[in-house]
C-alpha cells in the first residue's frame, strides 16, 4: 500500500519520527529481495519531505527513480579528477600491482605529469634526459594543492621517461636527472608497463577519469559536486552519485567511495557548523575493505567513527551483518532488520540478546524489525512511497 508515512507498526501506528532513524548510524540488513532498498527509498522519500539533506552512493542505479533528486552519474555527467587520488589509490583503482621500484616510478611519473599540466601547460610527457636536478626540484616546489591535476592517460609514456640514468663513463653528469634511458630496467619492467598501458585503455579508466572529453557534453567533477552540496542549501536536498557504470569493477568502486567519503568528512571537519547530512550506501558489501588492517584508512570507517560529531550520519544497507568487520558493525546504534535466517548473522549484532530469530526468519517482503536507540523494538510494515506506482507504470511504458 502507498502511504504518506515511512511505515506502520503491527499495532497499526504510523512510524512518524523518521529523524530518529538517522539521528544515529543506521544499519539495514536482510536477504536479497527482502525489501531493503525499497524501505530505504521510502525512508528517503519521507526525509525529503522534511528537507533533510541526503547523499546517496548508488552502485546499481536503483536510486535515480527517487523524485526530486539530483543525479550525477560517473561516466556520463560526472568524472573524477585523477589528481585527487594518491598514487597508491590510483594503483588500487586500476588494479595495478607493480614491483616496489615501479610503484616509486609511478608516483614520480604523477609528479612529472602534474608539472606538465599545471606549470608547462603542455599535454605531453615530461622528458627528463638532460634536465638539471635543481630545475626539476624548483618546479616540484611550485606545485601546490591547487595544482594536483594531471593527464592520467599519459602515465605509461611518462613512466618510460622516469627510467633515466647518467652515462656510465667519464661523461657522467650527476647534476642532471639523467643522460640516457636505463634500457635494461625498462626491459625488465616491460610486462608491468604493458599492463598499465592496458589498464589506461580500459572501460573502468574512461568511466573514472574521462580522459578525452567530448565537445558539447558537460561533465562535473564528483568531489566538487559533493562539496557544493555540503556547503549550499538548495531546494533539492537529495544527491545521487550513480556508480553503476563501474558495476563490473568492484575494486574501483571501493576506491572511489572511500576517497569521496574521506574528502566529504574532511570538508565537514573544516566547516562543521552546518546542517545534518545523511549518507546512504546500498550494497555496501561491495565497498567494504577486505580486512581489518585496511579499516583505519577507509572512508566508510572514518565517517562512521568521526562523522556524527560534525552532523554526518550513515545509512548502510547490506545483506548480512557478517559482511561487516566487527569494528565497523559496532558503530551502528540503529538497526532495520529484514528477513534473515541464520543465527550466526543475528548473534553478531550488539543487541543479539533482544532479538527473536524466529520472528526475523518469518518476516515477509516489506516487513522489518526496527530497533532504535532508547526505544522499544517494533515490528513494522514499510509503506511504499506515494510515487511508487506511477513510477512503475512509467518504467513499464519505457520498456515497451
Ligand X SMILES: Nc1ncnc2c1ncn2[C@@H]1O[C@H](COP(=O)(O)OP(=O)(O)O)[C@@H](O)[C@H]1O
Q: Which region among 33-41, 64-72, 87-95, 168-176 touches ligand X (by CB under 6 A)?
A: 33-41
Helix H or strand E encompassing 378: strand 378-382
By CB under 6 A, is residue 46 in contact with ligand X? no
Q: Is 113 exposed, middle or buried (0-12, 13-18, 19+ CB in 10 A)?
A: buried
33 binds, among ligand X, Mg ion, none (CB under 5 to 8 A by kind): ligand X
Region from 35-43, 63-71, 128-136, 198-206 binding ligand X, contact rule CB under 6 A: 35-43
**Is residue 38 a contact residue for ligand X (CB under 6 A)?**
yes
Instruction: Decide if residue 59 touches ligand X (CB under 6 A).
Output: no
Rounded to 5 degrees, what angle do the CA atoms 258, 195, 77 make? 45
SS3 318: strand
In this complex, which beta carbon is closest to ligand X, that of residue 38 or of residue 48? 38
Please state, as a whole number, how many other Cβ atoms lie within 10 Å of the Cβ of residue 92: 18
Stretch that binds Mg ion, among 36-44, 242-250, 264-272, 356-364 (CB under 5 A): 36-44
Residue 233 to residue 217: CA distance in whole angstroms: 26
State which residue has the least CB distance to ligand X. Answer: 366
Q: Within a 10 A sphere around the Cβ of 282, how many other Cβ atoms?
A: 22
- Smallest CA-to-CA distance from 195 within 96, 291, 279, 90 is with 96
- Select 36 or 128, whichever has its Cβ closest to ligand X: 36
Rank residues 1 and 175 by Cβ distance to ligand X and give the closer one.
1
Residue 32 interacts with which of ligand X, Mg ion, none, CB < 5 to 8 Å by class: ligand X
Based on the shown chain and the rule CB under 6 A, indicate whether residue 33 belongs to the binding site for ligand X.
yes
Contact segment (CB under 6 A) with ligand X among 10-18, 31-39, 82-90, 299-307 equals 31-39
Q: Which ranges of the chain would DSSP assign to H, the alpha helix? A: 19-22, 36-49, 87-93, 100-115, 133-142, 155-162, 183-188, 190-200, 203-209, 222-231, 250-270, 299-306, 326-329, 343-347, 357-361, 388-399
Q: What is the DSSP letter of 10?
A: T
**Position of minimal CB gap to Mg ion:** 37
State the greatest distance between any 2 C-alpha atoms of the chain, in Å, as a whole number: 91
Pick between residue 41 and residue 230 the one whose CB is nearest to ligand X: 41
Q: Which stretch binds Mg ion (CB under 5 A): 32-40, 78-86, 131-139, 373-381?
A: 32-40
Regarding 37 and contact with Mg ion (CB under 5 A), the answer is: yes
Grid cell at residue 338: 529484514
- The number of residues that bind ligand X (CB under 6 A) is 12
Number of C-alpha atoms within 13 angstroms, CB side, residue 53?
16
Smallest gap from residue 33 Cβ to ligand X (A)? 5
Interface pick for ligand X out of 15, 18, 21, 36 (rule CB under 6 A):
36
User: Based on the number of CB atoms within 10 Å of its own CB, is 146 exposed (0-12), middle (13-18) or buried (19 or more)?
Assistant: exposed
How many angstroms from the chain centroid is the CA of residue 297? Answer: 13
By the rule CB under 6 A, 109 interacts with ligand X = no
State yes or no: residue 32 binds ligand X (CB under 6 A).
yes
> Considering the rule CB under 6 A, would residue 391 count as an interface residue with ligand X?
no
Nearer to ligand X, 56 or 93 (CB): 56
* Interface positions with ligand X (CB under 6 A): 30, 32-38, 365-366, 382, 384
* Interface positions with Mg ion (CB under 5 A): 37
Amino acid at each position: 500500500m502507498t502511504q504518506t508515512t515511512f511505515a506502520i507498526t503491527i499495532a497499526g501506528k504510523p512510524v512518524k519520527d523518521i529523524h530518529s532513524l538517522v539521528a544515529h548510524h543506521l544499519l539495514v540488513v536482510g536477504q536479497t529481495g527482502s525489501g531493503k532498498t525499497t524501505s530505504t527509498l521510502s525512508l528517503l522519500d519521507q526525509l525529503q519531505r522534511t528537507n533533510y539533506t541526503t547523499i546517496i552512493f548508488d552502485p546499481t542505479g536503483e536510486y535515480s527513480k527517487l523524485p526530486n533528486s539530483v543525479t550525477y552519474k560517473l561516466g556520463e555527467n560526472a568524472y573524477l579528477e585523477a589528481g585527487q587520488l594518491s598514487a597508491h589509490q590510483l594503483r588500487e583503482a586500476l588494479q595495478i600491482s607493480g614491483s616496489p621500484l615501479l610503484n616509486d616510478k609511478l608516483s614520480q611519473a604523477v609528479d612529472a605529469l602534474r608539472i606538465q599540466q599545471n606549470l608547462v601547460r603542455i599535454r605531453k610527457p615530461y622528458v627528463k634526459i638532460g634536465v638539471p636536478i635543481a630545475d626539476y626540484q624548483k618546479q616540484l616546489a611550485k606545485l601546490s594543492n591547487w595544482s594536483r591535476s594531471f593527464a592520467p592517460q599519459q602515465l605509461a609514456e611518462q613512466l618510460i621517461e622516469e627510467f633515466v640514468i647518467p652515462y656510465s663513463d667519464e661523461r657522467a653528469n650527476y647534476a642532471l636527472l639523467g643522460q640516457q634511458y636505463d634500457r635494461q630496467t625498462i626491459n625488465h619492467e616491460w610486462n608491468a608497463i604493458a599492463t598499465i598501458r592496458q589498464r589506461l585503455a580500459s572501460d573502468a579508466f574512461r568511466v573514472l577519469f574521462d580522459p578525452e572529453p567530448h565537445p558539447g557534453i558537460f561533465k562535473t567533477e564528483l568531489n566538487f559536486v559533493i562539496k557544493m552540496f555540503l556547503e549550499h542549501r538548495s531546494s533539492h536536498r537529495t544527491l545521487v552519485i550513480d556508480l553503476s557504470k563501474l558495476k563490473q569493477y568492484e575494486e574501483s568502486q571501493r576506491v572511489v567511495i572511500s576517497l569521496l567519503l574521506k574528502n566529504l568528512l574532511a570538508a565537514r571537519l573544516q566547516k562543521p557548523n552546518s546542517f545534518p547530512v545523511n549518507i546512504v550506501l546500498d550494497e555496501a558489501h561491495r565497498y567494504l575493505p577486505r580486512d581489518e588492517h585496511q579499516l583505519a584508512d577507509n572512508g566508510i570507517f572514518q565517517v562512521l567513527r568521526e562523522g556524527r560529531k560534525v552532523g554526518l550520519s550513515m545509512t548502510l544497507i547490506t545483506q548480512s551483518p557478517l559482511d561487516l568487520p566487527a569494528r565497523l558493525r559496532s558503530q551502528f546504534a540503529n538497526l532495520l532488520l529484514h528477513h534473515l535466517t541464520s543465527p550466526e548473522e543475528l548473534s553478531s549484532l550488539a543487541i543479539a540478546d533482544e532479538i527473536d530469530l524466529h520472528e526475523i526468519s518469518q518476516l515477509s517482503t516489506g516487513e522489518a524489525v526496527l530497533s532504535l536507540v532508547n526505544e522499544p523494538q517494533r515490528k513494522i510494515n514499510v509503506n511504499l512511497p506515494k510515487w511508487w506506482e506511477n513510477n512503475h507504470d512509467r518504467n513499464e511504458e519505457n520498456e515497451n
